[in-house]
Amino acid sequence: MKSNVMISLTSIQWQDGEKCETELITQARHTKSGRFDVISYEDTEATGFEGSVTTIKTDGISAYITREGTANSVLSLEVGKKHFCQYETPYGSMQLGIYTHNVDNTIAENGKLYLKYSLDLNAAPLSDNELIMTIQ
């Protein structure tokens, strides 16, 4: 099953007690691969990663966010576990720790995906993050 869809993507980031929220509405491709929902979209200037493609693959207990193009990274999110990734940006690369608090995939029921995770840089807390995606 492949389908072109519209997604609303809200990203909330808490850093040093301050909240930053961004929203992106864009076209995406939704496919099903085994037990995984796979959503892929082109990044824009609004995300800061213009020229990259982001793919989110989730089965409800884990999620993998892959970005390829002008920026490259793979974030592995598994509830209750910490993973490390090499995170490349147009300004350089860094190693991040990712601890996942919640993965809630209800795409099949109501078209929603919710991710909550914390990032650290060199073992120092960097930010708490929420990603809320709705397929329209």
CB 70 within 8 A of CB 54: no
Determine the pLDDT at residue 70: 79
* CA nearest neighbour of 43 among 21, 65, 69: 69
Determine the pLDDT at residue 47: 66
- DSSP annotation of 49 reads -
Mean pLDDT of the chain: 91
**Any alpha helices (H) in the chain, and if so which ranges?**
107-110
pLDDT tens for each residue of 31-89: 999 999 999 999 877 666 778 899 999 998 899 999 998 778 899 999 999 999 988 77
122: its two tokens: 């060199």
What are the structural domains of the chain?
Answer: 2-135 (2.40.128.20)
Determine the pLDDT at residue 46: 67
Lowest-pLDDT choice from 3-7, 14-18, 88-92: 88-92
